[in-house]
Amino acid sequence: MAAKEDLYSKIIPRRLRQNRPGSVKCGSSSLDVLLSMGFPRPRALKALVSTGGRSVQAACDWLFSHVDDPFLDDPLPREFVLYLRPSGPLQNQLSHFWQQSRVTCGKNKAHNIFPHITLCQFFMCADHKVEALCEALQAAVQQWRGRFPSPLPLELYTSSNFIGLFVEEQVADVLKQFAADFATEAVRKAEVHVEPHKKQLHVTLAYNFPTNHLPSLEKLAKGIEVKLGCDWLAVLFSRDIRFANHETLRVITSEGWVNGTSLASGLSGLLPENYVSLADESDTWVFHGGGGGSILHTLESHSKLGMFDGLLDGRRPDNTSPGDTPTLSLICHPMQVLLRFHSRQPKRTLFVCRHGERMDVVFGKHWLSLCSDSKGKYVRSNLNMPSSLPLWGGQRDYDMDAPITVFGSTQARLVGEALLESNTVIDFMYCSPSLRCVQTAQNILKGLQQDGKLKVRVEPGLFEWTKWVSGNSLPAWIPPTDLAAAHFSVDTSYRPVIPVSKLTVSEPYETYMSRSYQVTKDILSDCKNTGNNVLIVAHASSLEACTRQLQGHSPQNPKDFIQVVRKIPYLGFCSCEEQGDTGVWQLVDPPILPLTHGPNHSFDWRETLLQE
């Protein structure tokens, strides 16, 4: 320790040593001081951002502790999030609930993050833009300060695995507008894209807990007086992108064998799992105190910001409870925060799959005449024709809505079995309204052994480019209620993102790509926090249309798009993975092998073998 202090005394300028850390005089910014000490600009910026800009001393400590960090010079952006944090009497009650629920029922997922209202999704920001980002928040706060009702109207909601306080809808719309204004400022000042939170605004009290804990948690939640005074603070937190979606552990001793990375030094190491305990996810987050402030009470904003800065320096005002502290201040030596390389919760993944082999492609556009007798009954004339068709004899548009072949069903089951063997869990399944897609989804469920357990959501917005539809009208698809009556595992309560009535014939290419992208985004948004893996069963074009813009790319021109689509076979399968909780997605290797199959022409033994 003495050697480290000697090293500091040689490097840190005299004017910095003579003052309290962080109180640099002569008009010098913290960055200027670090640069004058000889640190490269990228490292100085990273140190300041990684410590929330608290002080030069904190940045120096961070730099010296990360001198062997293999990622120290990598230009990795950090992930940021904007929250509303309560303070005052309501915060004290929430802290009491947090502590009592932990004592009574143990830790649940809500304990991973302190009480808050989410105003935007996690987003990326490079180190050199963070100062401008904080200025953007400050500008938004100044515009909105004092314009919200006090106290914020909250209503308790409970279900079998979730308890929370929801913001009254009209007030929630006002808060969302504040978030939208911040997003606008972030683009203008920092060129950073921020996506405001679109779901119902709420404070999560408990979720993902055992059902038998509900009565105790509900009783504790009802004891929270939601009308108590509260100063809501708009605050930015950030985290190292390497640690997103990884398990957070608190080291109790310095020995061991868990493979992890230290938040304190950035170094990787081993320690025994017996000598660690679970920590909260937000223990690895950094508070950025320069940009936000109270948006409900103008007079208290400076003292509240001072309180947050003090807590991050390890100090606590006398009138606050331990639950008020940003959790980073709880991490002190000899304890460290380590992160396992293997995530407890896998990344969110979108799978997109083409339907199976079509009857009209195999047997020609007049295939119906090959399997209808003189009385109009369905007759199987080839082994690759299904033994029966759903709802045959009704007013079904099989000419324009062809089913899949027997081999198409086999292809789909093979994919489902492969997903099962790879231990891939499908949490939600969506499909185009085309019968060939519904049948493919059903057979994938059979291979997954989820037939009758997982319900398929039929989404008209996933239908292929309508320019490819022959005739002047769309197919007359079988409604979900009729599909369910025919024993298809479909969700009859599902309300489509885009109903059939909104689809038009011969839509422009730009409309199709925009429709596919919007539907995919809405599906992923609806499924967030309730499942990691979503499977879309649709058309060859869907593999490109549902994933390209999700990755941040612009649509290709129609000619190149068509060339891509022609290369996608039946049951073509792709995987797109979310990079942290950022809204950024990337194509990755699927969890299953590809399915290759070739043409098999109809075989007439008479014509081939019976020759004279």
What secondary structure, in 3-state letters, does 356-387 show? CCEHHHHHCCCHHHHCECCCCCECCCCCCCCC
Which residues on adjacent β-strands are paired with residue 390? none
Distance (Å, whole) CA 248 – CA 375? 69
pLDDT score of 119 more than 70: yes
pLDDT higher than threshold 70 for residue 471: yes
- pLDDT value for 249: 66
Task: Say how far apart CA 604 and CA 607 lie, in whole Å.
Answer: 6
Whether cis (ω within 30° of 0) applies to the bond prior to 475 is no
Residue 437 has pLDDT above 90, yes or no: yes
CA distance between the termini of the chain: 101
Q: How many degrees, rounded to 5, is the angle at CA 28 between CA 24 and CA 29? A: 85
Q: How far is CA 296 from CA 151, 152, 233, 302, in A?
A: 9, 9, 8, 13
The answer for residues whose C-beta is within 8 angstroms of residue 77's C-beta and 6 or more apart is 124, 125, 126, 127, 241
Put simply, whether the predicted model's pTM sits higher than 0.85 gets the answer: no
263-273 pLDDT, tens digit per residue, is 666 666 655 55
Of residues 332 and 484, the one with the higher pLDDT is: 484
Q: What does the alpha-carbon distance between residue 340 and residue 248 come to, in Å, rounded to a whole number?
A: 7
Torsion over CA: 202, 205, 208, 211 (sign): negative
**How far, CA to CA in Å, does 543 sit from each of 392, 528, 571?**
31, 21, 11
- Token look-up 């993944």 returns 349
Is the pLDDT reported for residue 314 higher than 50?
no
Q: How confident is the model over 365-392, as a mean pLDDT?
A: 86
Q: Token digits for 200?
A: 């119902």
Of these residues, 355, 358, 413, 457, which one is catalytic? 355
Average pLDDT, the chain: 79
Query: C-alpha 2: how far from its chain's center?
Result: 46
Q: Is 565 helix (H, G, I), strand (E, B) or coil?
A: helix
Strand partners, 207: 162
Cα–Cα distances (Å) from 607 to 120, 363, 371, 600, in that order, read: 69, 18, 22, 16
Lookup: tokens for 521: 């985004």
Closest to 571 in 3D by CA, of 463, 466, 457, 418? 418
The predicted structure's pLDDT at residue 334: 28
Domain residue ranges of the chain, discontinuous segments joined by +: 31-66, 78-245+272-290, 349-588
Interacting residues of 452 by C-beta distance below 8 A, sequence separation 6+: 445, 489
**Active site (annotated) includes residue 213:** no
Catalytic residue among 354, 457, 515, 548: 354
Give me the residues paired with residue 428 across strands: 534
Q: What is the tens place of the pLDDT at every residue in 200-252?
A: 899 999 988 888 889 999 999 999 888 777 778 888 988 888 777 666 666 55
Enumerate residues 6+ apart whose C-beta is below 8 A from 271.
251, 253, 254, 255, 256, 257, 258, 260, 338
Question: Fold identical between 78-245+272-290 and 349-588?
Answer: no
pLDDT reported for residue 518 = 95
- The angle formed by the CA atoms of residues 112, 114 and 115, to the nearest 5 degrees, is 125
pLDDT (mean) for 476-499: 93
pLDDT in tens, 57-103: 888 988 888 888 888 888 888 889 999 888 878 888 888 888 888 88
pLDDT of residue 579: 82
What percent of the chain has a predicted confidence (pLDDT) above 90? 41
Tokens 């944090």 — which residue? 85
Catalytic residue among 54, 457, 539, 548: 539
What residue type is 463 in one-letter code?
Answer: F
pLDDT band at 112 (very low <50, low <70, confident <90, very high): confident
Is residue 242 within 8 A of residue 268, CB to CB? The reply is no
- Supply 415's token pair: 């994919």
CATH class of 78-245+272-290: alpha beta
Tokens 């893996």 belong to which residue?
533
Q: From CA 105, how far away is CA 129, in angstroms rounded?
A: 42
pLDDT > 90? residue 104? no
pLDDT score of 28: 54
Q: What is the pLDDT of residue 354?
A: 96
Decide if 354 is catalytic: yes
206, 110 contact by CB (below 8 A) = yes
The reported pLDDT for the residue numbered 290 is: 46
At 612, list the tokens. Answer: 């004279």
User: For residue 34, which of 7, 3, 55 has the smallest C-alpha distance?
Assistant: 55
What is the rounded CA–CA span in Å between residue 108 and residue 598? 51
The reported pLDDT for the residue numbered 327 is: 27
pLDDT above 70: percentage of residues in the chain: 75
Catalytic site includes residue 539: yes
- Does 416 or 610 have the greater pLDDT score? 416
Q: Residue 583's pLDDT is what?
A: 73
pLDDT at 9 over 60: no
Identify the CATH homologous superfamily for domain 31-66.
Ubiquitin-associated (UBA) domain (1.10.8.10)
Q: pLDDT tens digit string along 494-507?
A: 999 999 999 999 99
The binding site for substrate consists of 436
Q: Which fold has domain 349-588?
A: Rossmann fold (3.40.50)
Confidence of residue 556 (pLDDT cuts 50, 70, 90): very high
pLDDT of residue 286: 65
> For the CA atoms of 60, 64, 66, 70, what is the dihedral angle to 10 degrees?
120
